[in-house]
Each structure stands twice: as C-alpha cells, then as structure tokens.
Amino acid sequence: MTQRSFKAAPVAAAVALASLLAMWHPVAQAQAAAGGKPVIEKAADMPRFNYPVSGQLEDIVRSAERFAPLAAAIRRDTESVLAGYTIADKSAQRDLLGLLAQLDFLDGRYAQALERAEQVRALQDKPADKLLSGLRLRAMATAAQTHAPGSPAYVAAVAQYITQALAPLPFKVVSNDIKSSKASAELVGEALILGRVREVLQPMAQGTGQLSNEFAPSLVSARFALLHVLPLKAALTKTYGDYLAKNDVKKADIWAARDAVLPAKGPYATVNVAVWDSGVDTFLFKRQLLASGKQPVALIAFDKYSQPAQGSLVPVPAAIKQRLPELLANTKGFSDLQSDIDSAEAGQVKKMLSTLAPNDYKRVIEDLNWTGGYEHGTHVAGITLAGNPHARLAVARIEFGHTLKPDPCPSLEITRREARNNLATVEFFKRHKVRVVNMSWGGSVGAIEREMEQCGQGKTADERKAKAREMFDITKQSLVQAFASAPDIVFVAAAGNSNEDATFAEQMPADIVLPNLITVGAVDLAGDEASFTSYGPTVKVHANGYQVESYLPGGSRVALSGTSMAAPQVSNLAAKLLSANPKLKPADVIRIITETAERSEDGRRNLIHPKKALAAATAR
C-alpha cells in the first residue's frame, strides 16, 4: 500500500526509526467503563507533546549530556500515557513500550529493557511476532548484563543468544522476518541512521525550536542505532545469514493450486477494470486496454497538486531520465535482498546505502521514493489483469509525493480540489462502465498532521490537529460519497503496511464500510500473515502480498511486497467472477469472495480461494 493525497511517498529503503512522545495537550476522550481512565479509541486522539530542541540535533544524538534531559522528558510523558489512558489498539501500546525499552537500554537499565520487551511480546498477535518480537533487543539486554556493550565478548554473546533463540523456532513461520532482519543489518550505516535527523528533523527544529511526539522519537532511535546497533552490523548479518543457510527450505506455494485462469474463448463477458494508482505503462497491456473514443486507453489523471494532468504514466524528470535504468535496477536489488538472493543488484544496493555519504542522503532517498511511485501502478496493473484475457483496463492516475519535505504542503485549497477529483474520478469510472476498481493507496489524519508540522504549519499541536481533521474529513467524505454513488462498482482497498488496526489509525479508504467496498490484508506464498500487513474489523480477506512478481515500466518483472500487491489479487478475482457471471452485483461478488475464502486456525486470516469462488459464481 502506498500513501497518496497527503503527499507521503513510498519509502523504498530507509531504516525505520521508532516514534516518540513530548508537553501534553489534553484531548477530549470517552471514559473507560472500569477504572475511570480516558479511552483512546483513535490514533489521532493520542496525547500531544512538544519538546524544545536547539542547535544541531546530531549533537543531541551523539552527546550523552545533551541527550539526557530530552530522554528524561520523553520517558516521563510516555510513562504517563501508558499509566493514565486505556489505549484500544495493541500496536499503539507496543510502540510506547518499545520506545521505553530503547530508553531503558540507553540508560543502562538492561533488566528493565528486557521486561519491556516481554511486555511488547505479550501484546503481539501475529504468529511470527509472538516468536520474534524484540529478539535483537532481548539479546542485547541479556548480553549487556554480563559484558560491556561493544566489547568482543558482548558481541559474541548477542550472536549466541540470537542463534540459540532461533534454533527451535519453526522456520516456515519466521523465515520472512529473518530475511528482513538480515537485509536491514546489511543496509545500516551511519549516514542512513543520521540522514533523517539531518535532512528532516533539523530543518523543522530550526524553524520552530521544537519537535512533537511524531518526530522527536527519531532522535532516540537514531542514538540507539548509532551507538548499539551499528557496531553489531557484521555479527547480526552473519548470525541471520548462518540461520538462513542452515534452514534453506522453500515455503510451499498454496496459491498455484487455488489459481483460476480464464481461457480466451468461452462464455465469458468483457469486464472493465480500473487501476486507480500512480499510473500505468499501458504499452505492456496494449491488448487489454479499454479504449475511449480515439484514445487507446480510457484515462483520467491528476498531478500531486490535484491539478488535471496528461499521460498514463508520470513524466520522468529530466534529472532522472539518464539514471532511470539504474533506479529500476535498485528495485530489483531491494527485492533480492528481501528474498535473501545474493545478486549483483542486491550488492549494489547494499554498497550504495551502507556507505552512503552524508551529502547524498537526500538525493538518494528522494530518488528511491520517486522510483517507488513511478513503478507502483504498473506493478499493480500486472497483478490485476493476470490470467483474465477478458479484462479491459482503464487508468486513473494520481501522483505520490516523494520529497523529504512535503511538496505541496497540506492546504484546504488542495484538499477541496482533491475531493472534487475523487468525485470526478468515480464519475469517469461510471461513464466507462467500470465494474472493479483497485485502490492500493491510503492516507490518514495522522499523515496530514505530520506533514503540517514538517511544513511549519499551525501555531500549536491542537491547531494542527483540528486543521488536519478538517482536511481528512473533507477527503474521506468525498470518497464515501463517490463510492456510494457507484453501487454497481466493486471497490478494492489495501489494508495498509503499518502493522496496526486500520480503523484505529483511520487509514482511508481501508477503514470505510460500504456494501461495494472490500479491504484486503497480505499473507505470503504459504498463507502466513505478512509482518507488515495492517488488520482490523474492515479487513475481510487476505491474499498473497509478499514478493509477488509483476511488471515494472519498460517490461522487466520484479517481485514486490505490500498490501498493494494483495489488493489487486482480489480485484483480479472480482473481475473474473464478473466475467464468468456478469449479472452479479458488487455485494454478491464480495460475499462469494469472503464466503469461499478459508479461515486460518488462529482466526486471523481469511485466505481467498479463486477456484472455489469462480465455481460458486458460475453455479448460480
């Protein structure tokens, strides 16, 4: 899933930095039935804090003396939230406890860090997370109790702990996560750790003299990574690599037996489908395009300023044109790293990021972000159309922001234009008799609020919160109105990639409830839940979204991961059902897909079954 509208770009390669809290601004909340604690039922209602910061933030990260007062304030406020509120979402609780665990380790409170890590693990629901949660931190905190952090004995003890902890675990359950851990260890470098501090947080601090709870956490995570993770780079890479080499077992593919490919001939109707995304290289699908008058493809397009645009694929900036093959090769490199494939492209990506020069951080990350958006819609389209020669493609193109500082910054003017565009886009779908629309994007009220802070908007956190809510509601209401106006269209949404409840996070359109909309979570080749997939009451089915192969612009095929890749599997299935039985209504299509899906034993996953769904659709 990719962020849209609020100009948050897909991040192809940054090391994830944890979040934090700071001066509380009270918010109105419901009272818990027991204990009288206020209940936090939405992410946007988490308490606001602000921390004064000055000078070079890199000095705060590096200096124990400068870091200490900030850390103490963060600890105080984070503990106050956990003690003073009932938080409805386990993911939010895990974030706060994880932050405290990092602070504990930085303060030398190793036993307390271990205790926090176990509290986080107790809040995990996904099978792999229950087994692996906090493994690296647990190893570090255990080793630090008997060896000086950074010493050869300490490094060896960390590696030994991880090796022993992994040995009895079911490889098929944890393998994807270990591959990701190995890739992260291989990529980490000082410039990557400090790049966000220098290029994102520093300009904000210079503009306002403070950082909110949405951004100050990066200073904690950067110090933790710089002092305690980077020195373990070689040991972690080897430990994870040895484990993967020892357990070189491929997961079983449950999807091949479930797949349903429609023949070119037979009693099948043509079905118009739309990919509402970052644009599509339509040349790759020239035999399956929905023409519009004299135009080869039905197209509606808007740029990142929500202004009308031309072309089914976003224009390539002049500064990038010559480097485009290299940038597309980086995508393969990241994909190979995710799959633990030692390719030339993977080696180039490791070298590029782990040895990144400080002055190159901004350019490299923005290039990766732009490339991710450029490729996204084409990859999604390839999945949507696969195995269905009767599908005809319409393109609704939007643009994702890719710069470290939002461009454009949020505004009511752009929000209102976007709301009008949402309505116009669905009218375009209706006019072209589209039956299925894939939406592998999303946005949240929190995303707007963060962008406002980056842009220096709002005098207070409460003012930002109110303005962000206003803009979010305008956009969401336009989507609800547009979807409801098209009762003959099946809208398919991606759940999101933040491992949280999409409803708690207010991740639209994933949290929208309508009879013609279905939200999709991601699993892997074997049907195991993806570590990144979001969840919640609106997520009705799951499909393969881990290392799914499809096209990039130009025609190369690369495997990518995300709920962005899971949603078009369901769009693909919906189009096949309608091709086999065009009389089905959206509610029928969604019911067939959900009822023929197979519920996992733990009840968390509802795995689509295309063959069973197609059989049910044609038995009517």
Residues 283 and 222 in one domain: no
Residue 332 domain flag: no
427 has a pLDDT exceeding 60? yes
Residue 449 domain flag: yes
Residues 106 and 171 in one domain: yes
Beta strand 517-523 with 539-544 is parallel
Residues 449 and 597 in one domain: yes
Q: Mean of the pLDDT values across residues 410-420?
A: 98
Residues 286 and 213 in one domain: no
Residues 391 and 504 in one domain: yes
Residue 2 domain flag: no
Instruction: List the structure tokens of 418.
Output: 């976007």
Residues 260 and 239 in one domain: no
Which of 25-34, 195-204, 306-315, 508-517 comes out lowest in average pLDDT? 25-34
Torsional sign, CA 334, 338, 344, 347: positive
Distances (CA, A) of 592 to 302, 483, 608: 34, 20, 10
Distance of CA 292 to the CA centre of its chain: 34
Q: pLDDT digits over 344-358, tens only?
A: 999 999 999 989 999
Q: Mean of the pLDDT values across residues 501-530?
A: 97
Residues 183 and 267 in one domain: no
What lies within 8 Å, CB to CB, of 294 at 6+ separation is none
Long-range CB contacts (within 8 A, 24+) of 402-406: 402/9, 402/366, 402/369, 402/370, 402/372, 402/373, 403/9, 403/366, 403/369, 404/199, 404/200, 404/362, 404/365, 404/366, 405/200, 405/203, 405/454, 405/455, 406/6, 406/7, 406/8, 406/451, 406/454, 406/455
Instruction: List the structure tokens of 553.
Output: 């612009």
27 has a pLDDT exceeding 90? no
Distance of CA 72 to the CA centre of its chain: 31
Beta strand 490-494 with 539-544 is unpaired
Residues 229 and 268 in one domain: no
309 has a pLDDT exceeding 60? yes
Q: pLDDT digits over 53-92, tens only?
A: 999 999 999 999 999 999 999 999 999 999 999 999 999 9
pTM for the complete prediction?
0.94
With bands split at pLDDT 50, 70 and 90, how would you rate the model's confidence at 619? confident
With bands split at pLDDT 50, 70 and 90, how would you rate the model's confidence at 435? very high
Tell the burial category of 74 from Cβ atoms under 10 Å away from its Cβ (0-12, 13-18, 19+). Answer: buried
Distance of CA 154 to the CA centre of its chain: 34
- Nearest CA to 616 among 567, 566, 573, 569? 573
Rounded to whole angstroms, the Cα distance separating 610 from 463 reads 48
Instruction: List the structure tokens of 188.
Output: 């980490």
Given a contact cutoff of 8 angstroms between Cβ atoms, the answer to whether 433 and 424 are in contact is: no
List residues bridging with 31 in a β-sheet: 38
Q: If residue 61 lies in a helix (H) or strand (E), which one and from where to where? A: helix 57-62
pLDDT of residue 587: 98
Domain span including residue 204: 48-84+89-246
Q: pLDDT digits over 150-178, tens only?
A: 999 999 999 999 999 999 999 999 999 99
Q: What percent of the chain has pLDDT over 70?
A: 94
Given a contact cutoff of 8 angstroms between Cβ atoms, the answer to whether 205 and 11 are in contact is: no
- Nearest CA to 375 among 494, 492, 493, 275? 275
Rounded to whole angstroms, the Cα distance separating 293 from 313 reads 19
Distance of CA 514 to the CA centre of its chain: 23
What lies within 8 Å, CB to CB, of 370 at 6+ separation is 9, 317, 320, 327, 402
Given a contact cutoff of 8 angstroms between Cβ atoms, the answer to whether 288 and 393 are in contact is: yes
DSSP 288: G
6 has a pLDDT exceeding 60? no
Structural domain count of the chain? 2
34 has a pLDDT exceeding 90? no
SS3 content of the chain, % helix, strand, coil (to 5): 50, 15, 35
pLDDT of residue 132: 98
* One-letter amino acid for residue 1 of the chain: M
Residue 562 domain flag: yes
12 has a pLDDT exceeding 80? no
Residue 41 domain flag: no
Q: What percent of the chain has pLDDT over 90?
A: 91
Q: Which of 246, 276, 302 is the last residue of a domain?
A: 246
Distance of CA 598 to the CA centre of its chain: 25
* One-letter amino acid for residue 221 of the chain: S
Distances (CA, A) of 398 to 185, 278, 374, 532: 34, 5, 11, 24
With bands split at pLDDT 50, 70 and 90, how would you rate the model's confidence at 1? low
407 has a pLDDT exceeding 80? yes
Q: pLDDT digits over 539-580, tens only?
A: 999 999 999 999 999 999 999 999 999 999 999 999 999 999
Residues 134 and 260 in one domain: no
250 has a pLDDT exceeding 90? no
Residues 535 and 482 in one domain: yes
Residue 336 domain flag: no
Residues 427 and 495 in one domain: yes
Rounded to whole angstroms, the Cα distance separating 388 from 274 reads 14
Rounded to whole angstroms, the Cα distance separating 457 from 237 reads 42
With bands split at pLDDT 50, 70 and 90, how would you rate the model's confidence at 2? low
Residue 43 domain flag: no
257 has a pLDDT exceeding 50? yes
DSSP 366: H
Q: Which of 225, 246, 267 is the last residue of a domain?
A: 246
Residue 381 domain flag: yes
Instruction: List the structure tokens of 424.
Output: 């116009």
Residue 407: CATH number of its domain: 3.40.50.200
* One-letter amino acid for residue 311 of the chain: G
Q: Which of 217, 246, 275 is the last residue of a domain?
A: 246
Instruction: List the structure tokens of 481.
Output: 């109105």
Q: pLDDT digits over 496-505, tens only?
A: 999 999 999 9
Rounded to whole angstroms, the Cα distance separating 157 from 250 reads 30
**Residue 280 dihedral angles phi and psi, to the nearest 5°:** -135, 135
Residues 240 and 295 in one domain: no
